[in-house]
Chain A
Amino acid sequence: MSLSQDPAYSVLKNELVCGYRDISKESYAGFSGAHRPDGNAIKTTNGAGPHNLQTFVLASDGTVLHCLPGYWNPQDLVREIEFAGRLHDLWTNPSLSRAAKDQAFRRMQLAHIHEHPQAMVRRSNMQGFDKKYEAKHRLHTSDTVNNVQLASLALQKGQKIPAGAFKTTDVIMHERMAVRPFLPFNQFDVAHFVDYGRPKYDKNEDFRNDSGMLVDRSGAKSQEMLGQVPQKKQKRKGGKMRRVVQAGGRGVVNYGLRAALR
């Protein structure tokens, strides 16, 4: 629901050089259910599935201008590409020193948060299971937490997580980018940049009906898993869920990616 749909599609086709890399074997990759090309896709939120999908915008010399972790709505993706274009102008401006460029980069990244329309902010609410993961594993240290007291409610079963407990993913993205000014791609610490929420990300699209309701729970539970599937998880499923890291193979996909491409 992102790259293949306008406005993103036209921009990719006409304005950018595109490329991709399979990160199945990377230690920071997450995992999810296997999915064929003709499988269903479902809507999700901005920044969902950060371990499984990252979209970089690079200058023509390979310098990282921007990175969007996980899925992003096509309109929001285009907005961020336009922003990367502004950073590109800054990067290629011959009259500025490197220090001045870095300073402006930080300022522009943080300022762009306030340029996001309300609809984009609403689309950037972190997934509930990711909030719970952050609260459980790093409540007092996570940069995704906005208010520790409110965020701690995520640990109580059945308790609704209050608005304002966690930052939205659009904010997290820009804050993390702000401390990574104009890095060469090979120096960009992807593992840390995308580290929020749980490694598993799947919406079980192929086990839902047309309304999006999950109708085959057992099928969803026993589906083949892809990516960096933890050993513990494989054993618990009695071999039904096996680790599949098919470098160069077909049929490998994750939820964030599915949503992004369709």
Chain B
Amino acid sequence: MIWSSKRAFLALSLGLALLTGGAAADAKAKNSKLLPGYAAKENIDRVNQDIRWHTHLSEAIKSARSQGKMILWVQMIGQMDGAT
């Protein structure tokens, strides 16, 4: 299979993310079943402040085309910057 340089970079990033995230996430996960509300809110704020969330697919496609990236499109009940 032919890999573009961008795609190869993504694969490398994802591979590294898997390697570095795994052990820490597992250890954390074993220790707590419930994430307290204040921590959950911090996480939600982080996701909303640091990541631009398009609300129209056509806009996301336009942006993805110009950047040569794939799109992560989430369908959910509610608003990304609301309760979650």
Using a CB–CB cutoff of 8 Å, the interface residues on chain A facing chain B are 1, 3-24, 29-32, 34-43, 52-62, 65, 73-75, 78-79, 81-82, 84-86, 88-90, 92-93, 119, 185, 190, 205-206, 208-212, 226-227, 248-254, 256-258, 260-262
A7–B18 CB distance below 8 A: yes
| Given A23-B75, A252-B82; A17-B64 close (CB under 8 Å) | yes
Q: How far is the CB of A157 from chain B (nearest CB, A)?
A: 27
A37–B83 CB distance below 8 A: yes
Neighbouring A residues of B13 by C-beta, 8 Å = 10-11, 14-15
8 A-B residue pairs with Cβ-Cβ distance under 8 Å, sorted by A, are: A4-B47, A6-B21, A9-B47, A20-B74, A20-B76, A81-B70, A252-B79, A260-B74
| Given A7-B20, A65-B70, A89-B1; A257-B37 close (CB under 8 Å) | no
A88–B70 CB distance below 8 A: yes
Q: How far is the CB of B22 from chain A (nearest CB, A)?
A: 6
How many chain-B residues does the 8 Å CB contact rule pick out?
Answer: 63
| Given A4-B47, A211-B34, A253-B78; A58-B71 close (CB under 8 Å) | yes
A82–B78 CB distance below 8 A: no
Residue of B nearest to A58 (CB): B71
Neighbouring B residues of A62 by C-beta, 8 Å = 57, 61, 71
Neighbouring A residues of B18 by C-beta, 8 Å = 7, 75, 78-79, 82
B71–A37 CB distance below 8 A: no
Which B residues between 8 and 25 are near A, CB-CB below 8 angstroms? Answer: 10-11, 13-15, 17-18, 20-22, 25
Q: How far is the CB of A177 from chain B (nearest CB, A)?
A: 15
B72–A21 CB distance below 8 A: no
Q: How far is the CB of A198 from chain B (nearest CB, A)?
A: 15
Neighbouring A residues of B82 by C-beta, 8 Å = 37, 249-253
Q: Nearest 7 A-B pairs (CB), nearest first?
A: A7-B17, A7-B21, A252-B78, A212-B33, A19-B54, A4-B43, A250-B82
Q: How far is the CB of A38 from chain B (nearest CB, A)?
A: 4
Q: How far is the CB of A248 from chain B (nearest CB, A)?
A: 7
Q: How far is the CB of A214 from chain B (nearest CB, A)?
A: 11
Please measure, in the bound complex, the distance between the C-alpha atom of A136 and the C-alpha atom of B83, giving whole angstroms: 33
Please measure, in the bound complex, the distance between the C-alpha atom of A134 and the C-alpha atom of B22, giving whole angstroms: 32
Q: How far is the CB of B61 from chain A (nearest CB, A)?
A: 5
Choose among A32, A41, A185, A251 the residue that contacts B35 (Cβ–Cβ < 8 A). Answer: A41
Most central of A23, A75, A119, A261 by chain B CB within 10 Å: A261
Please measure, in the bound complex, the distance between the C-alpha atom of A22 and the C-alpha atom of B81, giving whole angstroms: 11
Neighbouring A residues of B72 by C-beta, 8 Å = 12, 16-19, 55-58, 81
B41–A211 CB distance below 8 A: no
Interface assignment of B27: CB less than 8 Å from any CB of chain A: no
Most central of A3, A4, A13, A31 by chain B CB within 10 Å: A4
